[in-house]
Amino acid sequence: MAVQPYGGMSITGGADTLALSTTAAKLASWSASGGANSAADSRTRGGDPSVRPDKANNRILVNAPGVYEVHFDLSGAPDAAQDILVQVYRNGVAVDDLRAQARFTNAVKNNIALHGILEVTAAHNPKTIPTFADTTATTNPPAQVSYAAAPKTEVALEIYIKSLASTPTLTINDAHFTVKRLD
């Protein structure tokens, strides 16, 4: 059985503290801590990266068009009891069907998770994110660069988080953001 293209990022070990507000903000802790991974062949199958974690920019890039399975979970402790909402954004726009809300209790580990299917169409493609890697790069995965003739078919998926009533501080114990291409 062939491995489906996937990519993921994680935050581990109480690596970050967030000051939440009632305005959704991108979860930007991926670049500071944790790791990134992807299927061994997802970047090399016919030159199609399909799904690529972009830890430096706190997002996962997917190829358009396609159908993707999205999973996000977070374990954390706030300094005040609070309702917290997490949501997937596609190119900076909230995806209504991919969100979760949970009541977090003060000073104890709480969990929130979301899981769903996301269709990415050609209309979602901003045509600004380079699809092909710089073959001279020494980083793994290689840095993406803009080749004038290269197609730009990638779409950014990000996690946004907010409090529903006040401004608590949330210590993230662990978090995982994974995307797998289905079609």
> Is the pLDDT assigned to residue 123 strictly greater than 90?
no
> Is the pLDDT assigned to residue 47 strictly greater than 80?
no
pLDDT digits over 66-121, tens only? 899 999 999 999 999 999 999 999 999 999 999 999 999 998 999 999 999 999 98
The closest alpha carbon to 124, from 87, 83, 94, belongs to 94
CATH topology of domain 6-181: Jelly Rolls (2.60.120)
Contact 162, 19 (CB under 8 A): no
pLDDT digits over 126-163, tens only? 777 766 554 555 555 555 555 555 567 789 999 999 99
The pLDDT-based confidence of 4 (bands split at 50, 70, 90) is: confident
Contact 101, 11 (CB under 8 A): no
Please report, for the chain, the start and end positions of each structural domain, with discontinuous segments joined by +: 6-181
Contacts of 159 (CB under 8 A, 6+ apart): 26, 27, 72, 86, 87, 88, 89, 177
Contact 172, 14 (CB under 8 A): yes
Work out whether strand 59-63 and strand 93-104 pair parallel, antiparallel, or are unpaired.
unpaired
Higher-pLDDT residue of 130, 42: 130
Structure tokens of 74? Answer: 């977070």
The pLDDT-based confidence of 43 (bands split at 50, 70, 90) is: very low
Beta-strand runs (E) in 91-147: 93-104, 110-120
- C-alpha separations of 30 from 121, 146, 147, 175 in Å: 26, 24, 27, 9
Give the pLDDT confidence score for residue 12 in this predicted structure: 82
Structure tokens of 84? Answer: 């917290």
Give the pLDDT confidence score for residue 42 in this predicted structure: 42
pLDDT digits over 106-119, tens only? 989 999 999 999 99
Q: How many other C-beta atoms lie within 10 A of the C-beta of residue 22?
A: 11
